[in-house]
Amino acid sequence: MKVSLCVDPGRPWTATTTLARRVDAAGWHAVYQCDHFMPHDPDGVPLAGPVSECWTTLSALATVTSRVRLGSLVLGNTYRHPAVVASMPPPSTR
């Protein structure tokens, strides 16, 4: 079984890196970041506060991890032009 982590985009950066490093050290399969700019609570109400951008977060996580795979859990096609996405390098080639 491959175990992975999906990081909440509303989580503070220090908590995100701590989780990613622990997952990496424990030998988990992957860390995923959702591509959502408007996170919601379980009742569907938008949450206030800062939100991490998916591709920037994955790129930054690549600098603090060494083994774990990195990827987007979803990718918003309504605000990401297909040509721009096609030209973006993959977040992880590990």
Residue 61 in any domain: the answer is: yes
CA atoms within 13 A of residue 41's CA, in its CB half-sphere? 6
- CB atoms < 10 A from the CB of 22, how many? 11
Q: Which of 6-10, 64-68, 83-87 has the lowest mean pLDDT?
A: 83-87
Residue 94 in any domain: the answer is: no
* Percentage of the chain exceeding pLDDT 90: 44
Residue 91, SS3? coil
Q: How many domains does the chain divide into?
A: 1
**Segments forming the whole domain that contains residue 8:** 4-87
Do the Cβ atoms of 34 and 72 come closer than 8 Å? yes
Nearest by Cα to 29 from 65, 67, 66, 55: 67
Q: What is the mean pLDDT of residues 58-69?
A: 94
Residue 36 in any domain: the answer is: yes
Model pLDDT for residues 22-60, shown as the tens digit of each residue: 999 999 999 999 887 777 777 878 777 788 888 899 999
Residue 5 has pLDDT above 90, yes or no: yes
Tokens of 67: 């083994």
pTM beyond 0.75, yes or no: yes
Residue with tokens 């949450």, as numbered in its chain: 47
Q: How confident is the model at residue 91 (pLDDT cuts 50, 70, 90)?
A: low
Residue 93 in any domain: the answer is: no
Query: What pLDDT sits at residue 94?
Result: 53
